Amino acid sequence: MTEKEKMLQGMIYDANNDQQLMEERLAAKTLCYQYNHLAPAETVERKALIQQLFKQTGESFWIEPSFYCDYGYNITIGENFYANHNLVVLDGGAVTFGDNVFIAPNCGFYTAGHPLDVMQRNAGLEYGYPITVGNNVWIGGNVCVMPGVTIGDNTVIGAGSVVTKDIPAGVVAVGNPCRVLREITEQDKVQYSTT
């Protein structure tokens, strides 16, 4: 079994010494570099680079530079996806975003983790557990989502949160560690009424 096959199956794998994975990371980081250095008006070129990098995209999406990822081919974004500046996705494991996901600046989605044992960690071993973000999710600024987390549909994650465990659908959650504050209710529909 190759190190890439181990990575894709959520097993412990050698990320730092495997030639194939090192080359794939270099290719992804080269595309990220190109993306981050395009002029603001080069929107067609931006979209094409993301579609080349990611496993799958919707038709409508926008990612503000700077953007960084490890491989790209483990990232799927749905329709009407928006990420503000400085998004980091460490995608050794699959990272799946649903439709209508909005991500504020300086957020990270980290599938990668390392063994607690110092000998394994120093040998370059790591794991990648998938992250799933449902539909209609808003992620506040400076949020970190950790390996293996699922965030349910219609949920809001407050700024500065560190999401270490699954968050259910239809709630506001915040904190370090992130925890549910309350459900989103009908009252939330009228709070910001424009009429």
Residues 6+ apart with CB under 8 A from 184: 154, 155, 156, 170, 171, 172
* Residue 92 to residue 10: CA distance in whole angstroms: 9
Told to judge if 85 belongs to the known catalytic residues of this protein, a careful annotator would answer: no
* Residue 163 to residue 185: CA distance in whole angstroms: 22
Q: Which of 4, 114, 142, 179 is catalytic?
A: 114
Runs of H (alpha helix) within the chain:
3-8, 19-36, 43-53, 118-122, 187-191
Residue 178: CB atoms within 10 Å: 23
Q: How far is CA 177 from the centre of its chain?
A: 18
Residues 6+ apart with CB under 8 A from 141: 84, 104, 105, 106, 107, 159, 160
Residues forming the active site: 114
